[in-house]
């Protein structure tokens, strides 16, 4: 199962970090991406040991970000938390720290200002990231999350921030967030030329989508044409694992974890 990574949010309702990593190993999967709450629950050093003992690549730690804040104290708290996230990513040997950058703070309606806070926040943590050789991966999120989760909503916008900040920051390309973008292939090519692709997340967009956050589909069950996107990302020079990340409150989170992994493997072989 080389080339496949399981973001552990995909089985977060079924398993803790240890059970999830051991199950992945049993299925021949060689890469995972944990969330910080999963790591915290297992304990950081214990999580690192479990991952190492099972020979797992860590394709990313989810997540830093959430920079915009209504107060100076809030901004500083976000920066401090991101510095800790960098340290955790280093301890886990992650390929990158994934940044979900945050939306509008408090009662603000000023998305331009929020976007500025994001760039400033990343700039503030970048020296620590560079000093620790931990790449920061900006994940542009679907525009339907612009208000409450991430005000960076296209790959082009994320790359503009990367270019503004210099080395040490790149992008996580999640098909769920970017599949609709008329500029997708152009921006993937640009990301490749800039050497900024740090992660490639997969799942599918269901029709209908019944919930804005927790109704992502398994690869092949929706409308995203995955193979051409994969081909473009590989042609752009990223050859790391494709990381399956599925939030699915009413379907996959209710199934047996092993069935979820078996399905991920089968779909990875056939439609990705």
Number of H helices, E strands in the chain: 10, 9
The β-bridge partners of 33 are: 7
Q: Taking the complex as a whole, how short is the minimal distance between the CB of residue 207 and its own copies, in angstroms?
A: 5
Nearest approach, Cβ of residue 181 and its own copies (Å): 7
DSSP bridge partners of 248:
215
Number of residues that bind its own copies (CB under 8 A): 30
Q: What is the 3-state secondary structure (H, E, C) of 111-176?
A: HHHHHHHHHHHHHHHHHHHHHCCCCEEECCCCHHHCCCCECCCCHHHHHHHHHHHCCCEEEEEEHH
CA 149 to chain CA centroid, nearest Å:
13
**From 1-9, 195-203, 221-229, 247-255, span contacting its own copies (CB under 8 A):** 221-229
- Member of 37, 80, 120, 225 binding its own copies (CB under 8 A): 225
CA angle 58, 266, 9 (to 5 degrees): 40
**By CB under 8 A, is residue 214 in contact with its own copies?**
no
The position carrying tokens 């299925």 is 27
CB of 154 to its own copies, least distance (A): 7
Q: How far apart are CA 73 and CA 43, in angstroms?
A: 28
Nearer residue to its own copies within complex by CB, 18 or 201: 201
Q: Which parts of 84-143 interact with its own copies (CB under 8 A)?
A: 104, 108-111, 115, 142-143
Nearest 5°: CA angle at 205, between 109 and 224?
Answer: 120
Per-residue binding string, its own copies, 52-81, x by CB under 8 A, is ------------------------------
User: Based on CB atoms, which residue is closest to its own copies, 224 or 236?
Assistant: 224
Q: Is 179 in the site for its own copies (CB under 8 A)?
A: yes
Q: Which of 77, 131, 214, 223 binds its own copies (CB under 8 A)?
A: 223
- Work out whether the CA dihedral 130, 132, 133, 135 comes out positive or negative: negative
Tell whether residue 167 is a contact of its own copies (CB under 8 A): no
Residue of 15, 35, 176, 205 that binds its own copies (CB under 8 A):
205
Q: What's the token pair of residue 226?
A: 């995955």
Minimum CB distance to its own copies, residue 117 (Å): 15
Interacting span for its own copies (CB under 8 A) from 14-22, 79-87, 146-154, 248-256: 146-154
């Amino acid at each position: 199962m080389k080339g496949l990574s399981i973001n552990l949010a995909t089985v977060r309702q079924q398993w803790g970090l240890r059970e999830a990593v051991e199950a992945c190993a049993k299925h021949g999967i060689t890469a995972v991406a944990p969330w910080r709450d999963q790591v915290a629950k297992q304990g950081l050093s214990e999580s690192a040991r479990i991952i190492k003992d099972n020979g797992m690549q860590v394709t990313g730690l989810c997540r830093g970000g959430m920079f915009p804040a209504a107060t100076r104290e809030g901004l500083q708290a976000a920066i401090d938390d991101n510095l800790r996230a960098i340290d955790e990513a280093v301890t886990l040997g992650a390929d990158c720290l994934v940044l979900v950058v945050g939306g509008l703070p408090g009662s603000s309606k000023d998305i331009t200002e929020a976007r500025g806070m994001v760039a400033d926040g990343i700039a503030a943590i970048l020296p620590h990231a560079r000093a620790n050789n931990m790449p920061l991966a900006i994940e542009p999120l679907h525009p339907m999350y612009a208000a409450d989760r991430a005000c960076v909503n296209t790959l082009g916008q994320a790359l503009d921030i990367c270019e503004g900040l210099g080395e040490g920051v790149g992008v996580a390309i999640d098909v769920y967030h970017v599949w609709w973008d008329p500029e997708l292939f152009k921006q993937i090519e640009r990301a490749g030329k800039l050497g900024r692709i740090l992660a490639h997340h997969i799942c599918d967009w269901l029709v209908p989508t019944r919930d804005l956050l927790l109704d992502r589909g398994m690869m092949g069950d929706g409308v995203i044409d995955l193979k051409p996107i994969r081909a473009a990302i590989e042609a752009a020079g990223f050859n790391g694992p494709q990381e399956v990340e599925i939030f699915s409150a009413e379907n996959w989170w209710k199934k047996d974890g092993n069935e979820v992994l078996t399905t991920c493997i089968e779909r990875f072989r056939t439609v990705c």
